[in-house]
Structure 1
C-alpha cells in the first residue's frame, strides 16, 4: 500500500483514496475512492491504493452522485459520470455528451462545496476515455474544457488566476471520473515562468482555455501543501521534443523545478525540494517506462514515484508528471 498522507497522526481516519491498476477489485471501501483502470508500470503490486487520511472525525455524504467526506474544513469528493457507448449530441442541447457531462459534474461539485461552506477548490484529478479522440469538429479534451469552463462561469467562479491545480488524463475506457480536494481557505496559485498560463492559451488549443493553475499552495490547519498540476514537455504554450521521450522527460522536470522554485518564493514553511515530493507519472507507451524512470531518478532520487500507462491531452506528448508535497506551515 502506498499512502499519500498530509493529514497523518494517531487515530487517523481515511478522507478519500485512489485505486490504480488493472483488474481492480469489485468491492469498494466505505470512503470515496477514484478507480483508475490502467496498467501500473514497473516492479511492484498490480493494484495500488493511495489514501488521504485525517486526524479528526469525518462527516460523509452522497450528493448528486458525489461521494464525499470532510474533516473540519477539508473535503475530498469523487464522482463518475458514464458516457453512452457512442459519443453523440445531447438531444436537449445539441452539445456533445462529454461537454455536457463535464459541465454537469463541475456544477454539482460547486453546489456541494457551497452547501458545505467550503467554496475553494484546491486540487482536481480528471480522467476520461479517448482524451484526444474527435467528437464532431473538436477533440474530446477541448470539449471537456468547454464544459468545465462553463461550470466555473455559471457558478460565479473565475476561469483564470485563482484556480485549482489539476490534471486531465486519458484512459482506455470508463466514465468521466473526477476527484477533488477543497477547503475553507483559497488557494495561492503558482504559475511557471517558462510557460504561458494554461488559462491564457491561444485559440489554437480550443474555444476555451483549460481552467487550472500550474500549481497551488493550500493551507489546511497547521500545514502547507503544494499541489503541482500535470506537467509535460511544453515551453511557452508549444509542445517540444516530439518523438523523444527522454528529452520530453527532461523538459517536464525542468518545468517541475521551475514551478517549485516559484512556489518557494511564497512558501511559509520552508523550501520544497524535488526529492521531498511525491510523484505520479503518466506514460503513453509502456515501452518508454524505463527511459522515463531513468531521467526522473536523476532529478528526484528515491522520491516516491508511481508510473501509470495513460494518454496525455496532446497527441505528441509522451509523458506527463504531477507532484505533491507537504510540510508544517
Structure 2
C-alpha cells in the first residue's frame, strides 16, 4: 500500500484518495476533518497563509479511525498515524515531576499503549511541539523537562532509549498545548546517525539529566516503498552548538549535517543514494528577520527542492534555525 505526503492550498482540494493523517501549520484554526490532524499554531514565514500537509493513501484503501485516551488515530493496513494534544494547565503532576514532564510522560505512555493494542509496536517518526521550549521552570529548562518525561515513558513502555529510536523533532511555539504526532508501523526503523555529531541519545549530562530520544534519521519500509525521515537538524558539531549568533553560518552547518546524514542513509538504502535535492523540507526559523538569509543559503544548496519556512524556537536557545526533511520512494 503506497503512502505519499502532499502539500495543499486547502484540504478541500484533496485529490481522490484516503487520508491517513496530516498537519495544519498556521495561526488560524484548522478546519474540522475526519482524520487525525496536528495543528501547530505558529506563522508560516514564506508568504503562505498556512501549511497544509497530509499523508495520502490510494483511493479505496480501507481505514479505521479511533481514539484512545486523547490519542486520535487512523489506521490503514499496517500504517498508523496519530495525534495527541495535552494542555499543561490540566495536568496534575506526580511528586517530583513538573507539569510538562508529566504531560510528556503521559502522552508517550498513551501512545505506547495504543501501539501495543494495535499490534504495531514501532514508532517511525514523531513531531513534538510545545510552548516556551527554552523557558525555565522548576529550576530546569522546559525542553530538558520534556526529555525526562519522554525518556521515562520509553523505558516504562519497554522501549529502547538508545540505538533504534525513531526520527523526531521538538520545537517551541508561543503558546498552546504539548502536541505530538506520530507515524508507526509493524517493523523497526533502520537508524541513521551522523558521523559529524554525537548521537543525541548519548549527549553528556551538561545538556540535561536525560538525553533526547531520537535518531538523526530513520529509514522505514512500508510494503513496496522506502521512506527516509531526517530529524530536525541544526548547527551542532560533536555535541556543541557552533556559529552562535551567525544565522548564515548556522544554516550552512545544518545543511552540511543533513548532507552527512544522507551519505550514511545512502549506504543503508534499498532504493539507491539520496541527494539534498531529493527531499522535501521544513525549515524552522527563530527570528523572522533572518528569513531572507536562511532562504538564500537554502536555495543555493537545495535548488528547487520544496521548503516551507515556519516560525519556531529551536531546542537550544543559541540555535537560530533547524531543518528537517523526508523522501518517499
Q: TM-score range by the shorter chain?
A: over 0.9
Partner Cα separation in structure 2 for residue 276 and residue 158 of structure 1: 30
**Which of 34, 39, 42 is equivalent to 1:35?**
39
For the pair 1:64 / 2:64, whether they are aligned, the reply is no
Partner Cα separation in structure 2 for residue 149 and residue 209 of structure 1: 8
Q: Structure 1 unaligned segments of length 5 or more: list them.
A: none
Secondary structure of the equivalent of 2:268?
Answer: coil
1:233 alignment counterpart: 235
**Which of 219, 222, 228 is equivalent to 2:221?**
219
Aligned length: 318
Question: What is the Cα deviation at residue 5 of structure 1?
Answer: 4.3
Partner Cα separation in structure 1 for residue 32 and residue 143 of structure 2: 29
Question: What is the Cα deviation at residue 92 of structure 1?
Answer: 3.7
**Which of 137, 140, 156 is equivalent to 1:138?**
140
Runs of 4+ in 1 over 4 A off after TM superposition: none
Contact 2:94 2:102 survives alignment (8 Å): no
Partner Cα separation in structure 2 for residue 28 and residue 135 of structure 1: 34
Secondary structure of the equivalent of 1:84?
Answer: helix
Question: What is the Cα deviation at residue 11 of structure 1?
Answer: 4.9
**Which of 81, 84, 94 is equivalent to 1:79?**
84
Pairing of 1:127-206 with structure 2 (within 5 A): 127-206=129-208
Partner Cα separation in structure 2 for residue 11 and residue 291 of structure 1: 38
Per-residue deviation, residues 148-175 of structure 1 (Å, max 9, x unmatched): 0000000111100000000000000000
TM-score of the aligned structures, taking structure 2 as reference length: 0.94
1:116 alignment counterpart: 118
1:290 alignment counterpart: 292
Tell me whether 181-190 or 55-64 shows the greater mean CA deviation. 55-64
Per-residue deviation, residues 9-51 of structure 1 (Å, max 9, x unmatched): x9520000000112224x32111000011111123x3122100
Q: Structure 2 unaligned segments of length 5 or more: list them.
A: 8-14
Partner Cα separation in structure 2 for residue 47 and residue 145 of structure 1: 29
Question: What is the Cα deviation at residue 230 of structure 1?
Answer: 0.3
For the pair 1:102 / 2:107, whether they are aligned, the reply is no
Q: Cα distance 1:35–1:127, how it changes in 2: closer, same or farther (>3 A)?
A: same
Partner Cα separation in structure 1 for residue 93 and residue 270 of structure 2: 51
Contact 1:24 1:47 survives alignment (8 Å): no
Per-residue deviation, residues 117-139 of structure 1 (Å, max 9, x unmatched): 00000000000000010011110
Partner Cα separation in structure 1 for residue 293 and residue 242 of structure 2: 17
Partner Cα separation in structure 2 for residue 83 and residue 150 of structure 1: 18
Contact 2:217 2:231 survives alignment (8 Å): yes
| CA root-mean-square deviation | 1.6
Q: Cα distance 1:96–1:5, how it changes in 2: closer, same or farther (>3 A)?
A: same
Partner Cα separation in structure 2 for residue 197 and residue 104 of structure 1: 25
